[in-house]
Amino acid sequence: MSYAYYPGCSLKSSGKPYEASLFKVFEAVGLSLDEIADWNCCGATSYTSVDDMKAYALAARNLAIAERDGDGGVDLVAPCAACYLVLSKAQHYMKDNAAIGEGIAKGLGSVGLRYEGRVRVRHPLDVLINDVGVEKIAQAVKKPLGGLKVACYYGCQIVRPYSTFDDQHQPTSMERLLGAAGAEIVDWPLKTRCCGGSLIGTIQEAGLRLGYILLKEAKKRGADVLVTACPLCQFNLECFQDRMSKEFDDRVDINVAFFTQVLASALGASDKEVGFDRLLKWDPPKPVGAEGGSHARA
Amino acid sequence: MPAPESNGGPKVGVYVCHCGLNIAGKVDIDQTVEFAKTLPFVTVAREYKFMCSDPGQEMIQQDIRDGLINRVVVASCSPLMHEGTFRRATAGADLNPFYFQMASIREHVSWVTADGEAATEKSKALIAGAVRRVVFHAPLEKKRVPVNPDVLIVGAGIAGIHAALNIADAGKHVYLVERESTIGGHMAKFDKTFPTLDCAACILTPKMSQVRSHPNITMWTYSDVIGVEGFIGNFKARVRRRPRYVDEDLCVGCLECIEACVYKQAKVRDEWNEGLGKRKPIYIPFPQATPLVVVVDPEECIWFKTGKCKKPCVDACERKAMDFDQTEEIKEIEIGSIILATGFKTFDASRIAQYGYGKYPNVYTSLEVERLVNASGPTGGEVLLRDGTKPKSVAIVHCVGSRDEKTNKWCSKVCCMYSLKLAHLVKERTGAEIYNFYIDMRTPGKGYDEFYAKLLKEGVHFIRGRVAEINDWAIKPEEEGKLVIRAEDTLIGAVRRIPVDMVVLSVGMEPQSDAEEVRRLFNISCGGEGWFTERHPKLAPVSTFTDGVFLAGACQGPKDIPDSVAQAGAAAAEVLSLIDRGGVELEPNSAYIDEESCSGCRTCMALCPFSAISFVADKGVASVNEALCKGCGTCVAACPSAAAQQHLFTDEQVFAEIQGVLDYV
């Protein structure tokens, strides 16, 4: 089975390992992703706060292309949390707000496009949990994670405001997938709290504090790895650990990866294929039972 | 269509009502009356300030007596409001009451039309239709059927019990059906009741035992109503009595069998204690269970599971009451009226994931805490956490599953008060600091706000704000090992974190999960949320749209004990009034089949929602049981050969009305 794929800019740049590992995960369970033609920036959250009509028209162009090139209803996979939210929002606004709907239709019309609302915007977590299922993932595991202690982090955008496939406050889909791959899930109630988002670039003290709170609590609860499904979250949480350590005079040191990297690795992909080498740091304990298992905890 | 010559040919009187300014403020009355005078067959047209008043009615009667008219049209409010009034007025002047027709120019016109001219035009059109229609009316007789004085009450919580005793004390026979193994309902689980803090058991159990011994009450516990047919005064019901594997007449509740059970330890989840305790496969829910007769749970009893057990329970019973061969029994009863008192269920707190119910052991629902504070509960009335220690700090979270766009929008009405009660009891038993998190305090009721004031003086903390989340994320040392409540305190305008040992989620009330099936079974209606719908929210609060079926207690909407009891009393009074009337008159709007035109296709039979149509095999035609027919007209509309017709809605009457309107427009 094949899904239409909207990468967004992050998965082609800072989030490259997310894309590489996502493809590996889909391949391992017999799914493929077809990148839609001539896609453009989703507008992210920044554009919507400047001019929402133009921002949603920009997002809607991608939906219109996916609909035009697909047959019938289209499932469009958007892995980046921001893209997923903006595309979903554009859908809702067009449907629920006649003025915005007409404005967007006019905009699309000017470039020879139209949109009828047949695209379903899907997050990879949604596809893996609901279309593939935990059982099939468990069967496909080749290198079990051997009790790797994982804290699953969703951030704010995947389940809010639209909780189409998981609980808004305490989602569990990532835990179920990685649990099926042999990870030990760390109970960590902060999984939908803000990572700092763009505050890291604007009001850095505030942004750093938000990220620090997350990492410190995950570490306190024994996590070896924090996994996420958002390129900005991954960036904020991984790249500013040194600065957090200085700011709060408290050593912050934890692996932060995309959930697909850890999952693809369990499904048999090599470290290079999933892009562990593209992370700033990747040194979790070796899986229990694997070769060189001396690193495993007693 | 030629006008009928019956009654000396039609002479129609038209009476236009001002209804104060309700109609006259919008509709030009004089113009309307002048118009009415021009309509065919109209011999009299008049107006009056209030047609429903005595002088208004006498005006109609005088015209009838004077021989001026033999058909009556009143243009006023709506049939629901005053059709009965004007039919009685018509009959009072010795004219058949069905020579009357109403034109609704208030609800359908003046109240809903902005423009006065348009309203006047619309009134004229409706009057023209009514005049044309009434010409084709024919005399009809209301049918009177007797009322069976026996009563079925479904649900034996406080509402069902109260209604049953009221009716039984009046000398009428009551069948009281309860699906649990004991009567008592939710109230039997409580320790104290608000705001008086009197002991729930002390006021409820005497009523339970009265029910048990009352000569006029047949009490069937562990039973469900599975079939209902018939109509007001003449219902038939089928009741399934599930086997409890103990002879109810022989068992005296000595409990020797429970002692003797091969399970020496109680291992089964005890539903009565909300899962906080254990019971054996053979058990009674609580010491004052009524009837005090044990129940065997076939899901857990080793005899039913494996077929291998020495059955020491059988040997232990001196009265030979154990009966492992008992099977379900179907009882068929005839009753004249029904009271539904099927109650409510509490909101499933695990639906709000961020409150951690089911995840953190010391997050409880209010119903669980009711059992903890109850002397006959799993801790003997002590408030203990799962590890057996006493909490030093307790948060009570209001509005869990109430006043919430994401779960239930309604206010459950009882939670503020029971939260105050639990705050008082938990403080009394533990000395803990208590924090109430509320959106608004809703304490209207006799002595209720005074109770709130009392709690404030007792030093219970009140924080105004809906709780955002509950988890074990400690930031400060004093939060380690505690449950942390995060909430916006809207009175000080800040987000607060309060660490506590125990959380009580004040869960709201919801319709029973099978409310929809029950609604269908008894052919009543319920709102979108599932509460049973009363006939009128103000003037018929315990009646339903199905005559003879009444409501009591929380199945109609969230209610506390005083409200449930008051409503049960009202339902009992309605039933007794119906019984004393001795008979009921049925609206003669039933359908009938013109046997000449009926092809016997039976289309109507499948469509009839009341199963009122049967097939007469020897004639090959359908036949309507007029007593069952509710006059919905479905068969009339569906009949391919127009053989199905309906009194008061014959084709010529309906077409005449339409023609009248169209001719004017």
Mean pLDDT of all residues in A34-53:
90
DSSP code, position B108: I
- Distance, in Å, from the CA atom of A210 to the CA atom of B479, rounded to the nearest integer, reads 19
A79-88, A215-224, B578-587: the lowest-pLDDT one: B578-587
Contact B469 A190 (CB under 8 A): no
* Number of domains observed in the structure of chain B: 5
pLDDT at A47: 87
Q: Is the pLDDT of residue A292 over 60?
A: no
What residues in A contact B354, CB-CB < 8 Å? 169-170
Q: Phi-psi bin for B130: left (phi > 0), alpha (psi -120 to 50), beta? A: alpha
Q: Is the pLDDT of residue B4 over 90?
A: no
CB B199 within 8 A of CB B244: no
Q: What is the pLDDT of residues B261-301, one digit of tens each?
A: 999 999 999 999 999 999 999 999 999 999 999 999 999 99
Query: How much is the pLDDT for B1?
Result: 57
Residue range B49-64: mean pLDDT, rounded = 97
Range among A45-54, A159-168, B3-12, B130-139 with highest mean pLDDT value: B130-139
Does residue B247 fall inside a structural domain?
Answer: no
Nearest to B343 by CA among B175, B207, B186: B186
The CATH number of the domain holding residue B631 is: 3.30.70.20
- Assign residue B216 a region (left: φ > 0; alpha: ψ between -120 and 50; beta: otherwise): alpha
To the nearest whole percent, how much of chain B has pLDDT over 70?
99
B128 lies in some domain: yes
Are residues B64 and B93 in contact, defined by beta-carbon separation less than 8 angstroms? yes
Both B171 and B311 in a single domain?
no
Determine which of B351, B407, B466, B469 to mutate to test the interface with A (most A C-beta atoms within 10 Å).
B469
Q: Please, are residues A80 and A14 in contact by the beta-carbon 8 Å criterion?
A: no
Query: What is the extent of the structural domain holding B37?
Result: 6-142+650-664
Domain ranges of chain A: 36-122, 141-295
Contact B353 A217 (CB under 8 A): no
Determine the straight-line distance between the first and last CA of chain B, rounded to whole angstroms: 19
For residues B216 and B112, membership in a common domain is answered with no
Partner-chain contact B353 A170, CB within 8 Å: yes
Residue whose entry in the numeric block shows the structure tokens 């005449």? B656
Nearest CA in chain A to B472: A189
Q: Which carries the bigger pLDDT value, residue B564 or residue A54?
A: B564
Nearest-Cα distance to chain A for B405, in Å, is 13
Q: How far apart are CA B406 and CA B428, in angstroms?
A: 35
Strands (E), chain A: 2-5, 32-35, 74-77, 119-122, 149-153, 184-185, 225-228, 255-258
Q: What is the pLDDT of residue B144?
A: 87
Per-residue confidence (pLDDT) for residue A293, from 0 to 100 = 38
* E strand intervals along B31-70: 42-48
B459 and B600 share a domain? no
**Cβ separation B469–A169 shorter than 8 A:** yes
Q: With bands split at pLDDT 50, 70 and 90, how would you rate the model's confidence at A294?
A: very low
Q: Using an 8 Å CB-CB cutoff, list chain B residues near A215.
A: none
Same domain, B364 and B295: no
Q: CA of B364 to nearest chain A CA: how many angstroms apart?
A: 18
Tens digit of each residue's pLDDT (9 = 90 or more) over B180-202: 999 999 999 999 999 999 999 99
Whether residue B472 has pLDDT greater than 90 = yes
B118 in contact with A, Cβ within 8 Å: no
What pLDDT score was predicted for residue B230? Answer: 84
Q: Which residues pair with B469 in a beta bridge?
A: B486
Whether A167 and B353 lie within 8 Å, measured CB to CB:
yes
Residues in A touching B353 (Cβ below 8 Å):
167-170
Distance CA B539, CA B555 (A): 18
Residue A52 in this model has a pLDDT that exceeds 90: no
pLDDT of residue B5: 64
B366, B504: one domain? yes
Task: Read off the pLDDT band of B446 (50, 70, 90).
Answer: very high
Q: Are residues B380 and B435 in the same domain?
A: yes
- At B2 the pLDDT is 64
Q: What is d(CA B247, CA B296) in angstroms, rounded to the nearest whole number?
A: 11
CA angle B58, B61, B62 (to 5 degrees): 85
Is residue B224 pLDDT above 60, yes or no? Answer: yes
Judge: A189–B353 Cβ closer than 8 Å, yes or no: no
Instruction: Give the ipTM of the model, two decimals please.
Output: 0.83
Mean of the per-residue pLDDT values of chain B = 95
What is the pTM assigned to this prediction?
A: 0.84
**Residue B578 pLDDT greater than 50, yes or no:** yes
State the smallest CA–CA distance between residue B472 and chain A in angstroms.
Answer: 8
Average the pLDDT over each of A91-105, B172-186, B505-519 and give the range with the smallest value.
A91-105
Q: Which residue in chain B is spatially nearest to A192 when comparing CA positions?
A: B354
Contact check, Cβ <8 Å, B353/A169: yes
Output the domain CATH number for residue B176. 3.50.50.60
User: A170–B473: do the CB atoms touch at under 8 Å?
Assistant: no
* Confidence label for B8 from pLDDT (cuts 50, 70 and 90): confident
Give the model's pLDDT for residue B211. 98
The structure tokens 């011999």 sit at: B43
Burial class (CB in 10 A: 0-12, 13-18, 19+), B453: exposed
Nearest residue of A to residue B406, measured between CA atoms: A168
Mean pLDDT, chain A, as a whole number? 93
> Are B556 and B615 within one domain?
no
Q: What pLDDT is attached to residue B6?
A: 64
Tell me, yes or no, if B361 comes closer than 8 A to chain A by beta carbon.
no
Question: Which chain B residue has the Cα nearest residue A213?
Answer: B475
A64-73, A132-141, A246-255, B5-14: segment of lowest average pLDDT: B5-14
Residue after which a domain boundary falls, among B450, B480, B510: B510
d(CA A183, CA B511): 41
As a whole number, mean pLDDT of residues B81-89 equals: 95
Q: How confident is the model at residue B143 (pLDDT cuts 50, 70, 90)?
A: confident
* Binary contact (A169, B473; C-beta < 8 A): no
Closest CA to B340 of B191, B519, B165, B183: B519
**Does residue B337 share a domain with residue B191?**
yes
CATH classification (class only), A141-295: alpha beta
Question: Cβ contacts (< 8 Å) between B470 and chain A: which residues?
Answer: none
Is pLDDT of B167 > 60? yes
Q: Are residues B356 and B489 in the same domain?
A: yes
Residues of chain A contacting B473 with CB distance shorter than 8 Å: 189-190, 217
Provide, as residue numbers in chain B, all residues whose Cβ is less than 8 Å from the Cβ of A189: 469, 471-473
Question: For the segment B371-390, what is each residue's pLDDT rounded down to a tens digit?
Answer: 999 999 999 999 999 999 99
What is the percent of chain A with per-residue pLDDT over 70, rounded to a whole number? 96
Cα distance between residue A244 and residue A240, in whole Å: 6
Q: Please tell me which of the candidates A167, A169, A190 has its beta carbon nearest to residue B473.
A: A190
- What is the pLDDT, as a whole number, of residue A73? 79
The residue of chain A nearest to residue B471, with distances taken between CA atoms, is A189
Chain B hits for A169, CB-CB cut-off 8 Å, are 353-354, 469
- Do both B264 and B366 map to the same domain? no
Establish if B444 belongs to a structural domain.
yes
Q: pLDDT tens for residues B535-562?
A: 999 999 999 989 999 999 999 999 999 9
Residue type, B183: I
Residue B630's pLDDT band (boundaries 50, 70, 90)? confident
pLDDT, position A48: 84
Looking at the DSSP bridge assignments, the partners of residue B153 are B176, B339
- Beta-bridge partners for B345: B510
Residue B447 structure tokens: 């002595």
pLDDT at A295 over 60: no
Q: Which of A39-53, A219-233, B281-295, B460-474 has the lowest mean pLDDT?
A: A39-53
The verdict on domain A36-122 having CATH code 3.40.50.300 is no
Query: Residues B201, B335: one domain?
Result: yes
Residue B322, domain member (yes or no): no
β-pairing, B151-154 vs B174-177, is parallel
A170 vs B472: CB contact, 8 Å cut-off? Answer: no
pLDDT value at residue B451: 98
A293: distance to nearest CA of chain B, Å? 32
Backbone angles phi, psi at A175, to 5 degrees: -60, -40
Interval B401-430: pLDDT, tens:
999 999 999 999 999 999 999 999 999 999
**Candidates B404, B470, B471, B483, partner chain A, best to mutate (most A CBs within 10 A):** B471
pLDDT in the model for residue B609: 83
